[in-house]
């Protein structure tokens, strides 16, 4: 029997299979509020064992991109409830990814009164799309004060409570892909001289404080984290001590007993590959659930599960074009082609209109 399509355990949860729908920003939340179209989208893909939502901001300051959803207002909590209900109706469990964009932002994408903030006043190379004026350079962030650190940590904790109130089974902290938490981890974006900069113990301090605050808010059995060692997205260059730093982080996360670590390898999209030694070291050090993500097809997913390299397999882009990906992979059926032009556009086209398999 295929392990990929058999039920799996995730802490106290039983998943209908070992396949995770990876978090993918889709920019359909007009006004930063989840809507009926999003509920339809997630409901269509609820044959996954676990759905991790697109990145959801815990704060007005974290809304770096246009049309990404938040979870800091009661209106947003209400908007997420039909989404979680649709996921559960299809049998999936659903975790909300909490993503604070930090310096990957532009003021034109932020609500009134919000600020672009980061560990240090260092702008990320690259451009940001805005609905108002098209492409703009990433903004120069304000270096976070101690008051900002305290407030942002509290926002993550409250966002986790709000996610549970909206019907989510847990949350995933986004510590990958160049967003705020990873901005603290990496020495190019974190050049602080206080207790939050310098050594890995200091650079990881805010990340671990957010982990601790989130665990205190909703329990360690409901908290995972996504990491991207060797990821270079959003101006995160490689550095010599990276492997040692991330292994130290794995030990710290294991000591806290959080539910899972979600390791993403972006080599299928042109980034450096995450060395097998890193993946194996996480497997050895971290005693919770390990999720691997990056360029998987059904065959390689089955092989890595059978080899014990991980506990669950996360898949991103194939789920965009194939709402019934689980059935297609199980039947070895052809998959729909992706339309990359509609990844981030408003509306149903390229979002909820991909056809399911005709059985």
Cα separation, 335 vs 357, in Å, equals 9
| 179 is annotated as an active-site residue | yes
Distance between CA atoms of 248 and 243, rounded to whole angstroms? Answer: 9
Contacts 24+ apart (CB under 8 A), 181-188: 181/100, 181/206, 181/207, 181/210, 182/227, 182/228, 182/231, 182/236, 183/102, 183/103, 183/118, 183/119, 184/119, 185/245, 185/249, 186/236, 186/239, 187/239, 188/122, 188/235, 188/236, 188/237, 188/239
Residue 62 Ramachandran class (φ > 0 left, ψ -120 to 50 alpha, else beta): alpha
The total of other beta-carbon atoms located within 10 Å of residue 115's CB is 15
- CA–CA dist 291, 313 (Å, integer): 6
Residue 272 in tokens: 């450096």
Give residue for tokens 């050895």: 284
Annotated active-site residue in 179, 196, 246, 351: 179
List C-alpha distances in Å: 105 to 97, 135, 147, 212.
18, 11, 21, 26
Nearest-angstrom CA–CA distance, 222 and 70: 19
What's the rounded Cα separation, in Å, for the pair 248 and 290? Answer: 16
Positions marked catalytic:
179
């Amino acid at each position: 029997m295929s392990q990929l399509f058999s039920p799996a355990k995730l802490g106290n949860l039983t998943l209908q299979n070992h396949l995770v729908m990876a978090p993918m920003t889709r920019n359909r939340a007009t006004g930063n509020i989840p809507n009926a179209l999003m509920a339809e989208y997630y409901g269509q893909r609820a044959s996954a064992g676990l759905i991790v939502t697109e990145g959801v901001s815990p704060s007005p300051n974290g809304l770096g991109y246009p049309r990404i959803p938040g979870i800091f207002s009661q209106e947003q909590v209400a908007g997420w409830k039909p989404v979680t209900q649709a996921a559960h109706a299809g049998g999936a469990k659903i975790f909300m990814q909490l993503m604070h964009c930090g310096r990957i932002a532009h003021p034109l994408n932020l609500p009134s009164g919000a600020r672009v903030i980061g560990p240090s006043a260092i702008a990320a190379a690259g451009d940001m799309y805005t609905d108002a004026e098209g492409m703009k350079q990433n903004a120069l962030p304000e270096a976070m004060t101690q008051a900002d650190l305290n407030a942002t940590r509290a926002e993550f904790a409250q966002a986790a409570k709000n996610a549970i109130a909206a019907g989510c089974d847990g949350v995933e902290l986004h510590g990958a892909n160049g967003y705020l938490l990873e901005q603290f981890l990496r020495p190019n974006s974190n050049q602080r001289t206080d207790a939050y900069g310098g050594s890995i113990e200091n650079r990881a301090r805010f990340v671990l404080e957010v982990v601790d605050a989130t665990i205190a808010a909703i329990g360690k059995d409901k908290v995972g984290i996504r990491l991207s060692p060797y990821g270079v997205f959003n101006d995160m260059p490689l550095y010599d001590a990276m492997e040692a730093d991330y292994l130290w982080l794995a030990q710290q996360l294991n000591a806290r007993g959080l539910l899972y670590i979600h390791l993403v390898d972006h080599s299928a999209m042109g980034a450096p590959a995450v060395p097998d030694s890193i993946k194996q070291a996480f497997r050895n050090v971290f005693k919770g659930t390990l999720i691997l993500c990056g360029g998987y097809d059904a065959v390689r997913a089955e092989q890595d599960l059978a080899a014990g390299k991980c506990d669950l397999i996360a898949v991103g882009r194939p789920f965009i074009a194939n709402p019934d990906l689980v059935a297609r992979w199980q039947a070895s059926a052809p998959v729909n082609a992706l339309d990359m032009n509609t990844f981030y556009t408003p509306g149903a086209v390229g979002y909820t209109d991909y056809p399911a398999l005709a059985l």
